[in-house]
């Protein structure tokens, strides 16, 4: 896993990967939580804290995780509790036969005109049987079947009914061949043909008995009412009505989804949400995110107006980042489906030492570039050497007194690429400029360092600047990428193709065209030799 992971698709992790358990702190009683927008009130154990749910998550409405003692932080998986809301949606009715479609399987159909074939009887068209869409998730069983990641309902016992609501408690069965000792539990309230509310819990097996008592106390004592508008909604509607921010509806929903500790700040193009008490850090993030974006816009003019607002989510620390869903081994990520950039406060605060916020901003500047280039290129990712390399290039930005003063070396990458070049273990430019993401991620430590050094070289080398062809490579690549992608999108539209496979093939074609044109007529061997000399001359930096 790389220090930076740009996620293309995020799935709800109903059951996180098992690991060694951490001991629970004392329960400390319960607090009452009321969520009028969902029509539920329940006691929540004070040993649990609420963490945000993903922006586009429709079914998991609340998520909690056990608080950890300071001496137990980052020492393994700890219990989670999820609350689901599943509104009833009727199944799609059977298709009504049209004229000439009796729907009777015994009635003979009129013969179709034969398709044109070649001499060997081949139509030249591969027929793929289209799979029907899955039925709507309108109950707990379907949730497990479609979103449960292999977990199934095991032994069940009926709970005490409350009016029209029926209750069932389940032990969940782990997926076949799953490793580890994770146990699952659920308590499901169902109001027939209207709504299902479920409480799910996951913890190591040896802690199931103690944790199930906590979860059961929350679920069995849950009270229901008709869902009503969130009383905070009107407040934020008035707030944004007096201000000229882009997409106020998105900003309102983002604010309403925040747990009690989280706060938010608006900028022209972002909404920054955070769970850190370091206000100077927050102010710098709010200021720098727009300043660095101006640098992106100057170097990478967008294919069209960018009207999307993105969330910048700053978690309190690495533990909270992982609890939210950050991939292990990463320090931040950009998720284009959720339009969200996620990182954590990585400030180094050593007693007697100067506070160092550098790592937080290395991640911010890198991931913010991914966010910008996604929209600037027309929602298409460039080749990884260009995309990740440029993100790492901007990680070296020095922002001071309201502007980007300079862009220096990335201290996370310099020593790695110097060592690789010295030992002859770097990748040839002929190969790496055509690497797709899976190729790049196969050797992430080296590829990230080399991608950064290639972009840094092409942007800062005096030899490159004085060369009429080399100095154009980055600009030509980006402009050709936008042009080729626009052509491919037009072709897809004409052919009426919108499936993921067709889109993926078109994106690959656009990237291939961009790299072909950018390096046309370039002696790549000569260019690589100059780059190797440049890398050898870089000063080693302390991480």
Domain CATH number, residue 315: 3.30.2010.30
Q: Is residue 207 located within the same domain as residue 238?
A: no
Q: How far apart are CA 506 and CA 490, in angstroms?
A: 10
Q: Is residue 85 located within the same domain as residue 181?
A: yes
Query: What are the CA-CA distances from residue 293 to residues 45, 266, 297, 409 (Å)?
Result: 42, 15, 6, 19
Q: Is residue 360 located within the same domain as residue 491?
A: no
Q: Is residue 165 located within the same domain as residue 53?
A: yes
Q: Is the distance from CB of 487 to CB of 507 less than 8 angstroms?
A: no
Domain boundary among 344, 376, 408: 376
Those residues whose C-beta lies under 8 Å from the C-beta of residue 325, and which sit 6 or more positions away, are 10, 13, 54, 342
Token pair of 410 as six digits: 């990335």
Query: What are the CA-CA distances from residue 440 to residues 307, 404, 429 (Å)?
Result: 31, 29, 13
Q: Is residue 184 included in any domain, yes or no?
A: yes
Q: Is residue 372 located within the same domain as residue 449?
A: no
Domain boundary among 376, 408, 434: 376
pLDDT for res 521: 95
pLDDT for res 378: 84
Q: Is residue 393 included in any domain, yes or no?
A: no
The position carrying tokens 């170097």 is 299
pTM: 0.81
Q: Is residue 8 included in any domain, yes or no?
A: no
Query: Is residue 263 packed enough to be buried (19+ CB in 10 Å), middle (13-18) or exposed (0-12)?
Result: middle
Q: Is residue 26 included in any domain, yes or no?
A: no
Query: What are the CA-CA distances from residue 429 to residues 332, 385, 433, 464, 526 (Å)?
Result: 27, 10, 6, 15, 10
Q: Which residues pair with 169 in a beta bridge?
A: 157, 187
**Cα of 536 vs its chain's centroid, Å:** 36
Q: Per-residue confidence of the chain (543 residues) as pLDDT tens digits?
A: 343 344 333 322 333 333 333 334 434 799 999 999 999 999 999 999 999 999 889 999 999 999 875 545 545 678 999 999 999 999 976 655 555 544 444 444 443 443 443 433 443 444 455 578 899 999 999 999 999 999 999 999 999 999 999 999 999 999 988 888 899 999 999 999 999 999 999 999 999 999 999 999 999 999 999 999 999 999 999 999 999 999 999 999 999 999 989 999 999 999 999 999 999 999 999 999 999 999 999 888 888 888 889 999 999 999 999 999 998 888 999 998 888 999 999 998 877 777 889 899 999 999 999 989 888 888 899 999 999 999 999 999 998 888 888 899 999 999 999 999 999 999 999 999 999 999 999 999 999 999 999 999 999 999 999 999 999 999 999 999 999 999 999 999 988 888 889 999 999 999 999 999 999 999 999 999 999 999 999 998 876
pLDDT for res 129: 56
3-class secondary structure, 162:
strand
pLDDT for res 376: 86
Q: Is residue 253 located within the same domain as residue 372?
A: yes
Number of H helices, E strands in the chain: 16, 17
Q: Which of 385, 373, 395, 415 is nearest to 524 (CA)?
A: 385
pLDDT for res 333: 94
Q: What are phi and psi of 407, to 5 degrees?
A: -125, 115
Q: How far apart are CA 100 and CA 475, in angstroms?
A: 59
Q: Is residue 236 located within the same domain as residue 220?
A: no
Q: Is residue 368 located within the same domain as residue 474?
A: no
Q: Is residue 107 included in any domain, yes or no?
A: no
pLDDT for res 455: 97
Q: Is residue 3 included in any domain, yes or no?
A: no
Q: Is the distance from CB of 187 to CB of 220 less than 8 angstroms?
A: yes
Q: Which of 344, 324, 315, 345 is nearest to 65 (CA)?
A: 324
Pairing of strands 310-315, 340-344: parallel
Q: Is residue 154 located within the same domain as residue 281?
A: no
> DSSP assignment, residue 277?
S
Query: Is residue 374 packed enough to be buried (19+ CB in 10 Å), middle (13-18) or exposed (0-12)?
Result: buried
The position carrying tokens 């900028």 is 267
Q: Is residue 483 included in any domain, yes or no?
A: yes
Q: Which of 84, 78, 543 is nearest to 320 (CA)?
A: 78
The total number of structural domains in the chain stands at 3
Strand residue runs (E) in 243-364: 263-266, 270-274, 310-315, 332-335, 340-344
The position carrying tokens 């990712």 is 381
Those residues whose C-beta lies under 8 Å from the C-beta of residue 192, and which sit 6 or more positions away, are 164, 166
Q: Is residue 352 located within the same domain as residue 458?
A: no
Question: Residue 174 belongs to a domain with what CATH number?
Answer: 3.40.1000.10
Q: How far apart are CA 157 and CA 168, in angstroms?
A: 6
Q: Is the distance from CB of 272 to CB of 285 less than 8 angstroms?
A: yes
Starting from the edge strand earliest in sequence, which strands make up the sheet with 223-224, in order? 30-35, 40-45, 223-224
Domain boundary among 198, 228, 258: 228
Q: Which of 429, 419, 409 is nearest to 529 (CA)?
A: 429
Q: Provide the residue range defining the domain that includes 464.
A: 425-543
Q: Is the distance from CB of 474 to CB of 459 less than 8 angstroms?
A: yes
pLDDT for res 541: 81
**Cα of 347 vs its chain's centroid, Å:** 23
Which value, to the nearest 10 degrees, does the dihedral of the CA atoms of residues 95, 101, 105, 110 take?
Answer: -150
pLDDT for res 105: 40
Q: Is residue 245 located within the same domain as residue 353?
A: yes
Q: Is residue 350 included in any domain, yes or no?
A: yes
pLDDT for res 12: 29
Q: Is residue 324 located within the same domain as residue 362?
A: yes
């Amino acid at each position: 896993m790389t220090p930076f992971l740009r996620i293309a698709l995020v799935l709800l992790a109903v059951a996180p990967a098992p690991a060694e358990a951490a001991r629970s702190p004392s329960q400390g009683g319960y607090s009452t939580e009321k969520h009028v927008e969902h029509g539920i009130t329940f006691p929540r154990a004070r040993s649990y804290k609420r963490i945000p749910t993903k922006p586009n998550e429709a079914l998991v409405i609340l998520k909690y995780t056990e608080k950890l003692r300071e001496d137990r932080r980052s020492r393994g998986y700890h219990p989670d509790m999820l609350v689901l809301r599943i509104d009833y949606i009727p199944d799609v009715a059977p298709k009504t036969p049209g004229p000439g479609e009796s729907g009777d399987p015994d009635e003979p159909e009129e013969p179709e005109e034969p398709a044109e074939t070649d001499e060997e009887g081949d139509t030249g068209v591969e027929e793929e049987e289209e799979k029907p869409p899955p039925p709507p998730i309108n109950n707990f069983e379907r949730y497990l079947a479609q979103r449960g990641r292999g977990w199934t309902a095991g032994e069940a016992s009926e709970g005490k009914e409350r009016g029209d609501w029926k209750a069932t408690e389940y032990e969940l069965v782990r997926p076949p061949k799953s490793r580890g000792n994770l146990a699952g539990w659920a308590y499901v309230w169902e109001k027939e043909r209207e709504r299902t509310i479920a409480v799910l819990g996951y913890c190591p097996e040896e802690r199931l008995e103690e944790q199930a008592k906590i979860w059961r106390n929350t679920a069995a004592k849950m009270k229901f009412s008709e869902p009503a508008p969130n009383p905070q909604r009107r407040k934020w509607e008035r707030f944004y009505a007096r201000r000229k921010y882009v997409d106020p509806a998105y900003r309102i929903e983002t604010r309403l989804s925040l747990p009690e500790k989280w706060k938010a700040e608006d900028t022209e193009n972002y909404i920054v949400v955070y769970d850190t008490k370091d206000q100077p850090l927050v102010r710098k993030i709010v200021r720098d995110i727009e300043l660095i974006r101006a640098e992106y816009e100057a170097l990478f003019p967008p294919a069209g107006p960018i009207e999307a607002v993105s969330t910048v989510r700053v978690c309190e620390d690495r533990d909270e980042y992982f609890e939210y869903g950050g991939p292990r081994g990463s320090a931040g990520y950009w998720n284009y489906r959720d339009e969200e950039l996620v990182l954590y406060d990585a400030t180094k605060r050593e007693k007697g030492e100067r506070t160092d916020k550098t790592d937080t901003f290395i991640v911010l500047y890198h991931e913010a570039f991914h966010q910008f280039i996604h929209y600037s290129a027309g929602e298409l990712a460039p080749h990884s050497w260009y995309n990740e390399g440029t993100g790492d290039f901007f990680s070296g930005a020095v922002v001071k007194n309201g502007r980007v003063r300079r862009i220096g070396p990335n201290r996370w990458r310099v020593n790695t690429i110097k060592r690789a070049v010295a030992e002859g273990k770097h990748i040839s430019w002929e190969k790496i400029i055509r690497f797709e993401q899976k190729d790049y991620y196969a050797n992430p430590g080296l590829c990230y360092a080399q991608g950064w050094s290639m972009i840094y070289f092409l942007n800062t080398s005096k030899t490159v600047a004085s060369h009429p062809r080399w100095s154009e490579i980055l600009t030509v690549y980006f402009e050709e990428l936008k042009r080729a992608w626009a052509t491919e999108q037009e072709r897809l539209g004409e052919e009426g193709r919108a499936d993921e496979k067709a889109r993926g093939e078109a994106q690959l074609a656009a990237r291939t065209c961009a790299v072909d044109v950018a390096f046309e007529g370039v002696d790549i061997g000569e260019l690589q030799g100059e780059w190797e000399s440049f890398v050898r001359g870089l000063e080693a930096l302390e991480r």
